Structure 1
C-alpha cells in the first residue's frame, strides 16, 4: 500500500455526495426561509386565507402576527417559522404570495383606470359617453347618461358624489377587460 499515491485516503466523505450542503449553505437556506416567513407575516389575514397554506405554517404565521415586532419573542417566532418551512416546499408558497400581491396591484390599477374614465365622462359629457358606447356596446346609454348627469349635479353642490361612486361601480361590473 502506497500511502503517498493512495488518493482514496485523502478523499473526504462528501466528495461524491451531490446532496451535501455546507454549514454556510444551511444558514443561507435557513435565512431565506425566515425571510419568506417574514413576508408571510406582513400579509393580511385575508391574503393569507387566499394562499391555502399548510396548517402548521399558517398557525406559526398567525402566532407571529400577534407578537410585537422588535422583540426577542418575535425574532424567535420567525426562526421557528423558518424551521417549520424547511419541511415544506417553498415554491408553491412563493407562487401563491406573488399571485396574491400581484392581484392587489392589478385591482388597484383597474380601479385607477375606471376612476380616470369616470373623470373623462364627467368633464367631456356626451361626446365621451358616445365614444365609450362605441367601444363597449353592452353598456346602457340611458343609465350611463343618467349617472353622469346626476354625478355632475352632486359635484356642483360640493362634497362627495354618491352617483360618481355608482358610475365607477357600474363601469367595473359591465366592462370586463
Structure 2
C-alpha cells in the first residue's frame, strides 16, 4: 500500500472473525502498535503513535492518521489463543508528494530542431522535436519515482510522479512552432 505523508489509512483484518485471547497490531515484526485483550475488552496503545491510531473493537481494524514516513513498514495482526497466528499483513510505504518538474526548451541554430529537457528531483530526460514531432521518453528511479515526457494533442507534458502523487509542467506545441517560424524569418532577413 502506498499513502501520502499526512493522509490516513485503515488496515483491516483478513480473517472474518478470528478466535483469540489477545490481538496485536505489530510493525516490522517487533514493535507493538496496539494490543487488545478480548476477555477484558481492554486495549493498550503504544506511545510512538500518540493519538494517531484508532482501533475498532468490532472489526479489529487499525486506522493510522497523519501518516509520517517513519510509519512505513510491515504491519501484521497477530491473534493469540491456543497458538499465535498472523491474520493480516500489509506493507505500507508512506511517501512525500512529488515536486513540480521543470520543462525547458532550446532551439538548435540553423534548423528547427528543438531540444526539450524535463527535470524532476534527481531525474532528467532530454528529448528532441522536429517541427510537430517530439520524441517521448520515460525514466524510473529505483525508488519508483517516474519522470516522463509525452505529447497529448498539441501539448507536451513533463510528468513527475510516485505511486501517490504527481505534478506536471506543460508546453504548448504552438510555442515550438513560433520558435521555428521566428528562426526561419531571421534567416530570410539575413539573406
Structure with more helix by fraction: 1
Taking structure 1 as the reference length, what is the TM-score of the superposition?
0.21
Structure of higher CA gyration radius: 1
